[in-house]
Amino acid sequence: MKLMSFGKIAMITASTLALSSAAFAQDVTLRVGVVTPTDHPHSISAREFARLVEEKTGGEVAVSVSDNGALGSNPELLDAVQTGIIHFTVSTPGVMAEYSTAMGILELPYVFQSIDHMKAVTRGDVGTQMGADYQGATGVEVLGYFGGAQRNMITTNATINGVADLEGLKMRTWEWNVMLDWWSGLGALGSVVAFPEVYTALQTGVVDGAENEFTTFTTARWAEVAKNVSLTQHSITVRPLVGNAAALAGLSDEHQAAIREAALEAADFDVALEGELDMKNMAALAADYDVVFTEPDKGPLIKASAAVVTNFAAENGLEDLAAAIAAAAE
């Protein structure tokens, strides 16, 4: 896990000190950090969370949002939440798995059949229990599940019509060995590149491609330098909104209830927003960026990816959880 720079720690430690003293007063200011650009749905939904908290507490609790990776990368932000340097972040299951492995299953390719399947898991007993287990292991509370966007592959020069076209391609991934294994299983070469650096990596040929949502292809401008999108639909995103459980416990019962209610509403807001933006940004990719789409046969991709789910569950004793997630689709 990367350590935050001294400058970032110094900049945001003040908010933690402010909380410790303000907890005894009526007014509290909390801080959320996200890695996404300002107009990305996770950033928009983080601001909606802030608005809802202030509304539901009558202005007694304020939430400031720092986006665009201003406070660090996803691993740094989760580390900052766990240690209490900041109070909330929108994280990824793969990064969260570095603290407690089970959450990582939500990141695996083709684990969800549809958005309804994802919602059945994250809004049902499975998601509730996963959140409780995560908090018990880490002290980080899962307040709600953002997500719902489909992830596809984008490349600079190669055209991906099937698994064979991935052979030897350098594909960007993040700091999680499971995703490196997934790319390897597809015949590609996984290359870890921090989110803010992906544009330059695509532009300069450090990587041949990446995978993400349509919204990222537009808001992060990847489509300016990569004009080929393969509709692999290999993932329906889950992005947990998490908070420092100890910091929340230091607030009044009324404020805690308001924050948790706001988080659930913001999560549903985000899923709806991501669904709308999926359609809008797919059209924008064609109209504004001259992106060319291909529709590969997903059968071989699903087959090649199945071992990642099976191995992850077996290696971590999560067979029952994997079965419960699969059963939620029925």
pTM (2 decimals)? 0.82
Check: CB of residue 225 under 8 Å from CB of residue 199.
yes
Gyration radius of the chain's alpha carbons: 20
**pLDDT score at 182:** 94
3-state secondary structure of 215: helix
Q: Which CATH superfamily is domain 6-147+238-278 in?
A: Bacterial extracellular solute-binding protein, family 7 (3.40.190.170)
Least confident of 131-140, 212-221, 258-267: 212-221
Task: State in words which class domain 152-235+280-327 has.
Answer: alpha beta
Mean pLDDT for the stretch of residues 175-179:
84
Parts of the chain belonging to CATH 3.40.190.170: 6-147+238-278, 152-235+280-327
**pLDDT score at 215:** 87
Angstrom CA distances, 82 to 89, 131, 153, 314, stand at: 10, 14, 32, 28
Is the model's pLDDT at 192 over the cut of 90? yes
